[in-house]
Amino acid sequence: MTNPILAPWTTPFGIAPFDAISDGDFAPALEAALAAHRAEIDAIAGNPEPASFANTIEALEAAGRDLDKVLSVFFTVSGADSNPAREALQRAFSPKLAAHQSEISGNKALFARVADLWARRDALDLSAEQARVLMLTHRGFLRAGAALEGDAEARLKAIKARLAVLGTEFTQNLLADERDWHMALAEEDLDGLPEFVIDAAREAGRDRGLNGPAVTLSRSLIVPFLQFSPRRELRARAYAAWVARGANGGKTDNRAIAAEILALRAERAALLGHDSFAAYKLETEMAKDPARVRKLLMAVWEPAKARAEADAEILAGLMQADGVNGPLEPWDWRYYAEKRRRAEHDLDEAALKPYLQLDRMIEAAFACAHRLFGLEFRPLDLPLYHPDCRAWEVTRGGAHVAVFIGDYFARGSKRSGAWCSAMRSQAKFPQVQAPVVINVCNFAKGDPCLLSWDDARTLFHEFGHALHQMLSDVTYESISGTSVARDFVELPSQLYEHWLEVPEVLAEFATHAGTGAPMPRDLLDKVLGAATFDMGFQTVEYVASALVDLAFHEGAAPADPMARQAEVLAELGMPHAITMRHATPHFAHVFSGDGYSSGYYSYMWSEVMDADAFAAFQEAGGAFDPDRARALEEHILSSGGSRDAEELYLAFRGRMPGVEALLKGRGLAAG
């Protein structure tokens, strides 16, 4: 019987046949796909013909199609709908995949062909895109250790295998801590909570098999609980569990794992001839070196810290007025910030949420994409990996562009956070293929589902990533869509957030769940007027995390990451009532894989550009200026990694931005 993962997918648009795939199919499919890919690599490396772009680089681009199919399905379900079988498979797959990649990068005959092409590149008559792919392929081999020999080569291979195992363990430990903790609430504990928080708590209790409501460690529930619960002791207990994820002792503790990961990364960088892992990692990014990253972060840190400290004094005064003595604590900040927001901006999140219905916000994101880029979205009835998922066909001018899948609700089987991934990326070689793109979020389920302002911004953010995938128009998959520098990849997503704040968008799509009435103009004005409220807190918790990440990777690996974390925060003068957005034991961006290691700063690096890029629209004909939209698609969204990121931005804007637009956008500019 043919494995359904490896069989031809005859489903509509060639998406994965999720209803035919069982967990038992993954392991044999992976083994077969690895063997097939290995044979393809051996054939390329052993080709008796002289190396050419077609028989080497394009052959590499065409290889591994079965492996792509297996991994696209497996990583989709293991991240968004995990279970014990999938977690076990992930632990087994990680070292196998790391070994497979090491085998390819360590193939001397293959690297010799790539190096030969690189040496002859000026005589190959390559297109600009082909030259870019050759450069990235050659650089990728070097950075993977292809030039190493003997003991150094063997050691690097062992390091990469061990890092793969550790990253998987870190992720699964965090998921276990988030899944296993809850705080049951008595009915009286619901006093003072708005209806949407009560509904979410009751849903969480049902999901946990309890007879009453509960708070879990899902961000979409615990954050509004901390924001609205007047019961300080419950806030303190929930907050303690929230920040202790990955640091509870026992088999799910991530602290020793983090220390080993940092040590192995430092050793890996040294083997490859770099002074530090940060220097190695940033070599391929827009920032280029750690000093430029630190300069940006510190330029934002000082005004953000000053604003946060001034805000802390005001919040402490509100707390004391409530008769609470002692210092303002981290579990107090959101509660008193919400009180202050209601007082200063007359803006109550509980009054705002009925206007932010999930379905209407999805419509808003689609409508903006239609006005900007001419995209149309048609609902599809397809078997997907979970009943919560929804799918749409994306078209333009009647032509198929992509399939878009949305998986929006929190559940115990889904890791926390929000992300975008492509189950299939756009390409024209070796055949034309349209993308299949997924947005995964963790919104609290309700009927209807009501979003916070932050939730709505997350939805637009992830859809910005999706547009980067869907509008990609390159030849080779390796440079398609979001295959760009890490500190550039957040530009399209963070830029798209700005359209949520366009008054005409909110006027049309922010309609009341009960009455259908549009958001009143005075409430809309309050929302936009409070856009930078509490920005000192938000900026400090983010920048502190980015600076700790950078410090971990700049020099020698710390033997005790928690001590190094404390040292960095002390040097910064971290305000007492604010903690890092992601402390080390649950800093999945940095420790679940190499993606954002030394790179958590990239959100802010991209924000410098997104603030400036949206200003380009405002300086032209407004948020939907057609010329700016065409330029955005042509130079950024359609280009993928076909050119250097700085070159792409210069083509769009004509200059590189300074930090001023970011500070202004966050309300942190002097004066």
**How far out from the chain centre does Cα 26 lie?**
25
Cβ neighbours around 260 below 10 Å, total: 16
Q: How far apart are CA 56 and CA 359, in angstroms?
A: 47
633 is catalytic: no
Q: Please tell me what DSSP assigns to residue 63.
A: S
Active-site pick, 349, 393, 462, 554: 462
What is the number of alpha carbons within 13 Å of residue 472 lying toward its C-beta?
A: 35
Q: How far apart are CA 78 and CA 83, in angstroms?
A: 8
Amino acid (one-letter) located at 150: G
Query: Beta strand 390-396 with 399-409: parallel, antiparallel or unpaired?
Result: antiparallel
Q: What angle do CA 609, 441, 543 make, to 5 degrees?
A: 40
Q: Give the DSSP H or E segment for 570.
A: helix 561-572
Residue that the structure tokens 């550039």 belong to: 488
Q: Please tell me what DSSP assigns to residue 7.
A: S
**Quick one: three-class SS letters along 280-339?**
HHHCCCCCCCHHHHHHHHHHHHHHHHHHHHHHHHHHHHHHHHCCCCCCCCHHHHHHHHHH
Burial (Cβ within 10 Å: 0-12, 13-18, ≥19) of residue 65: middle
Q: How far apart are CA 17 and CA 2, in angstroms?
A: 13
- Please give the positions annotated as active site: 462
